[in-house]
Amino acid sequence: MLELIANIIYEVTGKKGITPDTDFAQDLELNSFDVVNIVAAFEAHFNTTVSTRDIWQLRRVQDVLDYLEKKGFDHP
Amino acid sequence: MSSDDFTVFLSPDGDGLSRDSLLRTAAARFTGRDASRWTCVREEGKKPRFSQAPEVCFSVSHSGGYWACAFGHAPVGFDLQRWEPCRTAALARRFFHPGEAVWLEERGGSEADFFFLWTAKESYLKYTGDGMVKGLDWFNVLAPLPGGAQLRHISGPDGYSLCLCAASVGRVSVVRL
């Protein structure tokens, strides 16, 4: 799952070196548009909708992993 | 300078100076004071401020190769965004007000139009302090804004959109650092 997330982030932003501890703002220096663009790519890939409230709680890659597991997306 | 005049400082990002240094340099230019030891306080749910000069209003943005900050004597929101390749119509339908999505689609969905909307929306949310938590679809920047806030789109580098939002917007000066 981490590799899949890393691939989506790379495709959208060109950023590499993703680990579970990667912080989107601090480490990748992503801004709000980048986050929205990534969320749209996730939604398209997983055919789901992330609630607005949840989007801004996802600050690190680990948060995304936890979110996907909670939503039942354990496997790519 | 009247209370609805603003100054936008623009600098290449990653050009030797850290963003905090850029902010202090811009603050010094704006206030005419020594801001070299000023500390920017960032608290969840609040606008950033200088602990040594809380009366100075500012709003920072960075994107692509640029860093920018709007300064004024009244609350301000500011956004700068490079035109990134993206599925403009799909993003607008998903995240924007329906009226904005229709407007974008009718005009062909260009990146220039998409980021015209994006920077207007983000500058408004920065101005109000609401942030993105409530989403982007509950207000329409092509219609009068809640509370009568005003937007001003500003010319910037090619391939970038810039927008400033305040209760009232008078003169806006752009200064390159």
Q: Which of B18, B133, B139 to mutate to test the interface with A (most CBs of A within 10 A)?
A: B133
Whole-angstrom Cα distance, residue A28 to residue B103?
A: 32
Give the B-side interface with A, CB within 8 Å.
Answer: 61-63, 81, 84, 86-87, 90-91, 94-95, 118, 122, 131-135
DSSP state of B36: T
Q: Which two tokens stand for residue A24?
A: 């989107």
| Closest-approach residue (CA) in chain A for B133 | A53
Per-residue pLDDT of chain B (177 residues; tens, 9 = 90+): 788 999 999 999 866 678 889 999 999 999 999 999 999 998 877 889 999 999 999 999 999 989 999 999 999 999 999 999 999 999 999 999 999 999 999 999 999 999 999 999 999 999 998 888 889 999 999 999 999 999 999 999 999 999 999 999 999 999 998
Q: What is the pLDDT of residue B142?
A: 98
Determine how many CB atoms are found less than 10 A away from the CB of residue B73: 15
* pLDDT tens digits along A10-55: 999 899 989 999 999 889 988 899 999 999 998 999 888 998 888 9
Output the CA angle B93-A43-B99, nearest 5 degrees. Answer: 10
Say whether B92 sits in a helix, a strand or coil. Answer: helix
Q: Which of B94, B115, B138, B162 to mutate to test the interface with A (most CBs of A within 10 A)?
A: B94
pTM of the predicted protein model: 0.92
* Contact yes or no for A31/A53 (Cβ under 8 A): no
Q: Which residues of B touch A32 (CB under 8 A)?
A: 122, 132
Q: Outline where DSSP puts E strands in chain B.
A: 6-12, 40-41, 49-50, 57-63, 66-72, 76-82, 150-154, 160-166, 172-176
Residue A63: which residues within 8 A CB-CB, separation 6 or more?
A57
For residue A74, pLDDT beyond 90:
no
Q: What is the pLDDT of residue A52?
A: 84
Q: What is the pLDDT of residue B14?
A: 66
